[in-house]
Structure 1
C-alpha cells in the first residue's frame, strides 16, 4: 500500500487515481452484529451494509491471526460502525481494508457514526481507504495501546465539520507513539512521507480538488475546477456532482443529491425511478419514498386493476395502546377501521402526539381509561369523527373513565362528531362537567345525556368549574436576555378574598402554536416549567431563561376555596423573546499546515450562540517557544487540537409537575375533606338540649289531623313612608359604604403593588456617544465604551481561515472570538490554540 501513496498525493484530478473508482454494483446486506468469530461469515460477499456494523465482545486472543483472514469487501456502511471490547484485535485493517465511507444516516445513541471503545490490544485503526464520515460524531476512547489517532485529519473526513465532532480520549499519548514518516521496524526510513497517516505504511488518502487557489469565495475550502466552478462537497471522489463515483448522501441519475426527490431511495445510497424499483421486483412506497422488498408491518399488499402490487396502510382492528411499542401499528394511520383503547402505563405524551396526529376517523369507539398521565386528548388533534359502528356495552362510542389529571378534551375550536352511540364520563376529578356537556351537540343519535352517562359528582369535583373560572390578563412588562417581568391586571374584591398567589407556566416555543395542554404530563416530567409564587403581588420575574429564545407563558391563580367562595382565573397563552447576549466561546479550534508558509484554521461555532453570529475575529502572532513548551501549552496542542478532558455539559432544569413518593399524594383534597367533616357535623349536648323537641305518638290518620296545630296567620307587613330623616340616614350610609369600598380597593391595590422595586430587571448599558468618554462620563451617562477587537474579521457563516505569509517551522498563537449582532461588546471570550507551520527541512530529511 505504501508505494501508492506518492502517486495519490500527486493527484490533481481524480482521473489519475483508479484506486478510488469502484463499481457501484455489488451485493448489499443488512445490519451486522458480530459477537463471535463465526459471525464474520456474515461479511462474506457483501460490499454495502444497509444499516450498522457492531463488533463487540469478540475474543481474538486465542487465534493465530496470521493464519486466519477476516478481510471483507465492504466499502460502504450506511449507518454507523462500532468496535467495542474486542481483546486481541490489533488493527481494523484486517477487517475493513476497503471501507471508503460511513454515511451516518442512523446514528448510535442519535449522535455517533464511528465508535472505537475499550479495546485493550488495539494498536492502530488502519482504515486505510476511508475517505468520508458523512454525518455523526466520532468517539475513539479508552484504547490504552492505540496509536495513530492524532495522525488522522478528522476534519477532512467529516462531511460537515461545523456539526460533527470528534472525541479522542484516553488512548496512548501521542508522545509515546510513532509519527508519520518515522523509522520502519527494520530501521529503514519509511516511504510514508505524509503528515497524516493510519499507520507506518499507509498515508491518509486525501484526494485534492483540481485547484484551491483563485477560486470564488463561495467555494470555501472545497476548491473549484479549471473553469472556476465550485466543487460539490457531496461528491467524495471528485469535484463535479454530475459525474461522481461516490456520493456522500445519495446518487441519482442527475448526480449526487442530499435526498431523493420524485424518486425512491434504495439501500440508503441511491435514488431510482418507479420503473427501476419495479424492475428490481420491489415495491415503491410513497411514505418515505423508499423502494422496499416488502410492505411495512402496518401495511398490506394490494393488487390494483393492472395486477401491480402496492402497499396500503392496514389500520384495521381494535388497537390497545399501553406502551410506546403499541404505537408502531398506528404510524401514519389516517382512518382506524375499528376501535381505539388508550390505557397508558409508561409512555411519554409526546409519543402520542407524534404517532396519532394524523388520525381523522375511528369507525368503532374511542375508550380512554386509567391514564393518569393525560391532561387532555389534544394529541388527537385531527380527529373529526367517531362512527360508533361498534360500541362499549352496546351504548357508548366515547368512553372516558378514571383519568385523574384529565382536564381538557379536544383541541380548542375543534369538535368531534359522534355518528352513533352516546358518551360515558366518570371518575375524572379534574374534568369539569360543563366541558363534558359541551360535547352533547356532537352526538348525532342521542337526544339527551343522563346523569348515568355523565356524572356531575365524579367529574370535576377537585377543580373550580363554571362561573367560578375567570379570565386573567397577563402582559410582558419588561424583558432582558435571561429574564422577563410579567404584569397582571389588578384583582377585584371577590378575587382578593380567596387569592393566595399565582402559578407561572412557561416553555420554549419556536413557533407560536402552543396550547396549554401540549406536552403536559399529569404524573410529572411536564415540559411546561412552573414558578409558584405565594404572594398577592401582580408582578413576577421569571429568570434563568436562554438568550435570544422565544417562550410561551400563561398564568393561573392559586386560591383557597370554601363552600361560598369558589373562584379561579387563567390567562391566555402569550409569547415573548429574550434579548441577545454575548455568545459562549468558540467550541474548538483545529489547524493544519501543508505549506511552510500557511496554516488552514478551522473552528466549531459556539455551543450557545445567544443570538445571530455576525462575525468571527481571528488573531495570530508568532510565539518563541520550543517543542517541549508547546506540548505543555494549556489550551492547545501542536497541529491538532483535541477534545479537552473536561467538557462542560448544558444543565437542563428539571421538568415541573408532581412527583409523589407516597400513595396519598393525590388524595390530599379527600383527606382534608374527611378531617373537616366531623367538625362540620358535630353538635354539642347543650345545644342539642335547647333544640330538643317532644314528638307525640301518632295513632292513626284521624289522630294526626286532630293533634296538628294550626299555624297562626302571618301578619301583613306595611312599609312606612320614607321620612326626611330616614332618607338622610340612607344617604349617609351610602356615602360611608362608598368610602369604605374605595378605601378597600386602594388598600388591595397597594397590596398588589407592594415591593415594586424588587422586580426591576437589569439591562445592558448603551454605547457611549463619545468614543473617548472618561470613567466619570460613563458613570454619569450610564454608558460603556465599545471595545474594538483587533484582528481579521470574517462573516458569521464562515468557519475556516487561511493564515498566509507565515514563517517556516514556527509556532503561532491563534485566537478566535465569536460576535453577536446588536449587542454592545457582544464578542465571546477568545478561544486559543498553538499551531506550527510545516517544515520543509524535516520533509527533506525524511525523504
Structure 2
C-alpha cells in the first residue's frame, strides 16, 4: 500500500504537492489562543517560540495539538507552566532544520519549564543544524534516554547540553517500573517515554559495505546510503531530506536553482508556475518582493523582483544593515554613524556592504569610533555625487577617532562630482587624504586646507617620513608558543620607547591585511599582547597547536602629537608545531548481534595536527553486583568518561586581549598601558646608586675637549674649573696641527659606541626568559633506563596495542565477542610527526546482547521501520 502511495506522489506535479501543504511563517505562542495559528500548519518556514505561556488546569488537550511535521529554523520552549509534555503540541514533528538559529547557535531549546515531565517528540528523526540545550527543567525525565548523537545531522559540529533537569535516578525506565521485565523490553535502550521507543532508520546493510560508506551502510548493490535522506537509504526518490530536495533527489545545497521554503530547490519556471517570484539576488523563490526590491513584470508577463536600493540609508547599528544586504548600487546616499562602541559591527559591515559598487549620492562617515578603515567597502568603484552635502561634498568624513585607513589597498574610488571634506580624524594621516586628489574628476584645483585640515587629521598618528619599519623574526617556535625578536632601535630613539604591542590572529590563508576585522574599541578579530619595556624579545603563549597565525608588531611612544618615534611591521605568518591530541569525544556503542559491538565516536575537539589513525582496544569488564544494579537500566548507554558535559576550554578571545575599557568613554586602546608605564619613567627611587661617569664625559669646556690630551690624562678637579695635563717644553710642530680634530673624532666615536652598546644591552636583557621548551626526541633504543633518558634528554616511544583504523574513519565493529558480557573499550587518536602522539584513551563500557534476544531485536527494528513509513 505504502509503495503505491509513494509512487502516486512521484507522478503528481510539484505545484500540486506544494499547494497541498499548509505552510506558515514564524509563530510566537504567548497565550492559549495563539495555538490557532499553529494548529493547521504542516510546515513552519521560520521558528516556533512557546514562551511565558501559562496553561490553565482544565485545558482541552485537543486545543494544543498541531499537524506540524517540519520547522525550518528553531524550536524554543521557555518558561511555560502547566505543560506536561510536548507530545500534546507536536505529535507529528519529524525534522528541525536549523536554517536560522536562536542566538546564532541553537536549533532546539527547552529551558526553565516548571511542569514539563517529558519531551515526547515521538516522530522526531533529525535536528539537522545547530546546538541543543535542555536545561533547568526540574521535573523533566527521559532526556538521558534519547540518542541525541543519532538525531544530529552533523555530529562533528553540533553539540548538546543537558543539565539541571530531574536526576535519571528519580525517573522511570524506558521499559516500565517493574525491574523484572522480559527480554523484549530489555532491548529498548532509547525512548521518549515508557514503551515509546526512539525511531531510528535501519540501514539495509552494514557489513560488507565499501569502506567509504562509513557507518551509514549501503544497499544490497553496495551503493552507499545517503545520510541526507531521513526515510531511506537512497538519495533518489527520498520522501524527507535533511538539507534540500531537487527533482526527488537529496542535495546538500541549491546550485543553479532557487530555494523554496528553505527545503526545496526548484527552477525559475517552476517558481513562476507556483505564482511565486524567482529572486535573482540570493536565488530564492518568494511570494512577495523584499523591502529593498521592486516588483516588475517581464516581457512574458511573469513577476520579477528588481533589487532597488533607493533613498538615504543611515547606519547606526547592525540592524540598520538589513535593507542593504544584496545591494550592488545605492540609488541615493549612505551615512555611517556608529553609536554603539561595544557592538561587534565590523564583520557585519563587511558582509552587508562588501558588494556595493556605486553610490549615486554622497558618502558620509561621522562620529564612528569603532571604524579603523573603510575597507569594508571592498568593491566600491564610484561615488557619483548626484546629491552633495552643502552642495559641495561627495565624501564627508568627520570626527572618527580611530580611522587610520580609507580604501582597500590598490583601489581608487572615483568621485564624479563634488569634493571631499576631512576633519577631526586624529589618526588618519594627512598624506593619505591627499592621495585622493586623482579621484576627484570634477575638481581642477588642489584640495584646500579648508576642506582637509593638516592639523586635525593625523595629529595623533605617525605619518610621512617619521614612520619607521620594524623587522620581527621568529626566533623559535613550539606547539603552543612562539618567540619573536625585533631589530635594535637606534639609541637616539630609545628614550622615547615605552614598549611594543604584538597583534596576532588565526589565519588559515595568507590573505590577511592589517585592517581585517579591526575594531577601534577592541572588539575585533585580533589578539594583542602588550610588552612594557625596551626589550626587543617577546614570547606569545597559549597558542593552538598546528595552527597558522598572522601577526604584526607596533611600538609605543609617550608622545601623542606631531613628532614622535613609532614604528610598524608588515604582516607576517607562522605555524605552530603539532602536538598530542585530546581524546576522541562522544563515544557510543550498541550491540545488535550477540557477538558484536559497533562503536562510534567524534573526532577530538582539539586534533592538534593531522589525525592519521585511531587505535581501539577492548577487554572484558567484570562488574560487581552493586555496579550491575546501577547500570542495569542502561546496558547499552555510553559512558562519556573523557568528555564531561560542562568542560570548556579557556581559549583567549580577541575581545579580552590587551588593555580593556572600564568606562564607556574609553577610546585609545594603548592609553591605559601608557598611563601605567608613565610613573616608571618619571619617578625614580632615591635609593638608586649614583651612575659612575666616564672620564671623557668630565670635560670642562670645548677647548679642553679638542686639546688632544689622551683620555688617561683627563682628571677632574672638584675645587677648580681647570684640568691638569702633562706639559712639555717643546713647541708643537706644524705636522701636529690636525691632531686635536683627529682625537676629537676618535673620542666621539668611542662615546657613540659605548652609548650604543648600553642601549643594545637594555634591549637584550633576560634572554633566557624567552627560551621556548621543546619536547625531547625519541630515544634510539626502546629499553633505555630512566637514568639514561634523563641523561640523554630523550623519551621512549610508547607501544600502544589495539586495532588501527584510518584517521578519516570514526567507527569500528568489534567481532568475535562473548554474549551477554560487559566490555570496556578504549579509543585513542594519534597525530603524525609527534613522539608519543596518541591521545589519552576515551573509555566506554557496553554489554553484548544474548543470542536469544538477537532475533527479537531484528523484529523490533523491522516494526519500527514500518511505523515510520505509515
State the TM bucket, normalised to the shorter chain.
Answer: 0.7 to 0.9
Whether 1:104 and 2:104 are equivalent positions in the alignment is no
Cα deviation digits, residues 578-603 of structure 1 (max 9, x gap): 11111222232222222322222222
Conserved? CA contact 2:281–2:307, under 8 Å: no
Correspondence for 1:138: 132
Q: CA deviation at 1:464?
A: 2.8
Are residues 183 and 668 of structure 1, via their aligned partners in 2, closer, same or farther at CA, if it must alter by over 3 Å? Answer: closer
Match for residue 52 of structure 1 among 47, 50, 60: 47
RMSD of aligned C-alpha atoms? 3.3
Whether 1:767 and 2:778 are equivalent positions in the alignment is yes
Per the alignment, in what secondary structure is the counterpart of residue 376 of structure 1? Answer: coil
Q: CA deviation at 1:574?
A: 0.7
Are residues 457 and 111 of structure 1, via their aligned partners in 2, closer, same or farther at CA, if it must alter by over 3 Å? Answer: closer
Per the alignment, in what secondary structure is the counterpart of residue 844 of structure 2? Answer: strand
The 2-side partners of 1:262 and 1:193 are apart by 47
Q: CA deviation at 1:663?
A: 5.3
Are residues 388 and 547 of structure 1, via their aligned partners in 2, closer, same or farther at CA, if it must alter by over 3 Å? Answer: same
Q: Which moved more, 1:560-569 or 1:381-390?
A: 560-569
> Residues 25-104 of structure 1: matches in 2 within 5 Å?
25-65=20-60, 68-104=62-98
Whether 1:149 and 2:169 are equivalent positions in the alignment is no
Cα deviation digits, residues 769-822 of structure 1 (max 9, x gap): 222223333233322111121122222222222222222222222222222221
Q: CA deviation at 1:258?
A: 0.8
Correspondence for 2:349: 352
The 1-side partners of 2:375 and 2:525 are apart by 15
Q: CA deviation at 1:267?
A: 1.6
Correspondence for 1:478: 476
Q: CA deviation at 1:246?
A: 1.5
Match for residue 661 of structure 2 among 634, 659, 662: 659
Are residues 324 and 611 of structure 1, via their aligned partners in 2, closer, same or farther at CA, if it must alter by over 3 Å? Answer: same
Conserved? CA contact 1:538–1:752, under 8 Å: yes
> Residues 633-782 of structure 1: matches in 2 within 5 Å?
639-641=637-639, 644=644, 646-653=646-653, 654-656=656-658, 659-661=661-663, 724-782=735-793
Query: When the two structures are superposed, what TM-score results if normalisation uses the length of structure 1?
Result: 0.85
The 2-side partners of 1:192 and 1:497 are apart by 79
Whether 1:453 and 2:451 are equivalent positions in the alignment is yes
Correspondence for 1:9: none
Match for residue 408 of structure 2 among 411, 415, 435: 411
Conserved? CA contact 1:14–1:237, under 8 Å: no
Are residues 164 and 501 of structure 1, via their aligned partners in 2, closer, same or farther at CA, if it must alter by over 3 Å? Answer: closer
Correspondence for 1:524: 522
Per the alignment, in what secondary structure is the counterpart of residue 809 of structure 1? Answer: coil
The 2-side partners of 1:843 and 1:142 are apart by 38
Whether 1:246 and 2:244 are equivalent positions in the alignment is no
Are residues 644 and 748 of structure 1, via their aligned partners in 2, closer, same or farther at CA, if it must alter by over 3 Å? Answer: closer
The 2-side partners of 1:810 and 1:21 are apart by 47
Are residues 135 and 501 of structure 1, via their aligned partners in 2, closer, same or farther at CA, if it must alter by over 3 Å? Answer: closer
Are residues 649 and 619 of structure 1, via their aligned partners in 2, closer, same or farther at CA, if it must alter by over 3 Å? Answer: same
Are residues 14 and 567 of structure 1, via their aligned partners in 2, closer, same or farther at CA, if it must alter by over 3 Å? Answer: farther
The 2-side partners of 1:754 and 1:232 are apart by 62
Conserved? CA contact 2:292–2:309, under 8 Å: yes
The 2-side partners of 1:76 and 1:239 are apart by 20
Match for residue 784 of structure 1 among 795, 798, 821: 795
Conserved? CA contact 2:135–2:165, under 8 Å: yes
How many pairs align? 781
The 2-side partners of 1:28 and 1:162 are apart by 32
Q: CA deviation at 1:768?
A: 1.8
Q: CA deviation at 1:291?
A: 0.8
User: Gaps (5+ residues) in structure 2?
Assistant: 11-16, 676-732, 861-870
Are residues 286 and 723 of structure 1, via their aligned partners in 2, closer, same or farther at CA, if it must alter by over 3 Å? Answer: farther
Conserved? CA contact 1:321–1:327, under 8 Å: yes
> Residues 806-821 of structure 1: matches in 2 within 5 Å?
806-821=817-832
Q: CA deviation at 1:328?
A: 1.3
The 2-side partners of 1:366 and 1:69 are apart by 55
The 1-side partners of 2:628 and 2:556 are apart by 62
> Residues 367-378 of structure 1: matches in 2 within 5 Å?
367-378=364-375
Are residues 524 and 166 of structure 1, via their aligned partners in 2, closer, same or farther at CA, if it must alter by over 3 Å? Answer: closer
Match for residue 428 of structure 1 among 425, 431, 434: 425
> Residues 112-191 of structure 1: matches in 2 within 5 Å?
112-182=106-176
The 2-side partners of 1:281 and 1:162 are apart by 40
The 2-side partners of 1:316 and 1:650 are apart by 46
Correspondence for 2:311: 317
Are residues 631 and 640 of structure 1, via their aligned partners in 2, closer, same or farther at CA, if it must alter by over 3 Å? Answer: farther
Per the alignment, in what secondary structure is the counterpart of residue 480 of structure 2? Answer: coil
Correspondence for 1:437: 434
Correspondence for 1:711: none
Per the alignment, in what secondary structure is the counterpart of residue 589 of structure 1? Answer: strand
Q: CA deviation at 1:190?
A: 9.1
Whether 1:262 and 2:260 are equivalent positions in the alignment is no
Conserved? CA contact 1:498–1:565, under 8 Å: no
Q: CA deviation at 1:205?
A: 2.5
Q: Which moved more, 1:214-223 or 1:230-239?
A: 214-223
The 1-side partners of 2:625 and 2:27 are apart by 45
Correspondence for 2:684: none
Correspondence for 1:687: none
Are residues 563 and 839 of structure 1, via their aligned partners in 2, closer, same or farther at CA, if it must alter by over 3 Å? Answer: closer
The 1-side partners of 2:5 and 2:623 are apart by 40
Cα deviation digits, residues 659-718 of structure 1 (max 9, x gap): 15385976989x99xxxxxxxxxxxxxxxxxxxxxxxxxxxxxxxxxxxxxxxxxxxxxx
Are residues 560 and 144 of structure 1, via their aligned partners in 2, closer, same or farther at CA, if it must alter by over 3 Å? Answer: closer
The 1-side partners of 2:628 and 2:747 are apart by 87
Query: When the two structures are superposed, what TM-score results if normalisation uses the length of structure 2?
Result: 0.83
Q: CA deviation at 1:284?
A: 0.9
Q: CA deviation at 1:845?
A: 11
Cα deviation digits, residues 230-267 of structure 1 (max 9, x gap): 11111111111112122111111151111111111212
The 1-side partners of 2:268 and 2:665 are apart by 59
Correspondence for 2:864: none
Q: Which moved more, 1:187-196 or 1:567-576?
A: 187-196
Are residues 510 and 121 of structure 1, via their aligned partners in 2, closer, same or farther at CA, if it must alter by over 3 Å? Answer: same
Q: CA deviation at 1:279?
A: 0.5
> Residues 475-554 of structure 1: matches in 2 within 5 Å?
475-554=473-552
Are residues 587 and 194 of structure 1, via their aligned partners in 2, closer, same or farther at CA, if it must alter by over 3 Å? Answer: closer
Are residues 406 and 170 of structure 1, via their aligned partners in 2, closer, same or farther at CA, if it must alter by over 3 Å? Answer: closer
Conserved? CA contact 1:180–1:196, under 8 Å: yes
Conserved? CA contact 1:616–1:819, under 8 Å: yes
Match for residue 616 of structure 1 among 614, 617, 624: 614
The 2-side partners of 1:770 and 1:220 are apart by 38
Conserved? CA contact 1:192–1:203, under 8 Å: no
Cα deviation digits, residues 132-155 of structure 1 (max 9, x gap): 222223333333333333333333
The 1-side partners of 2:244 and 2:843 are apart by 37
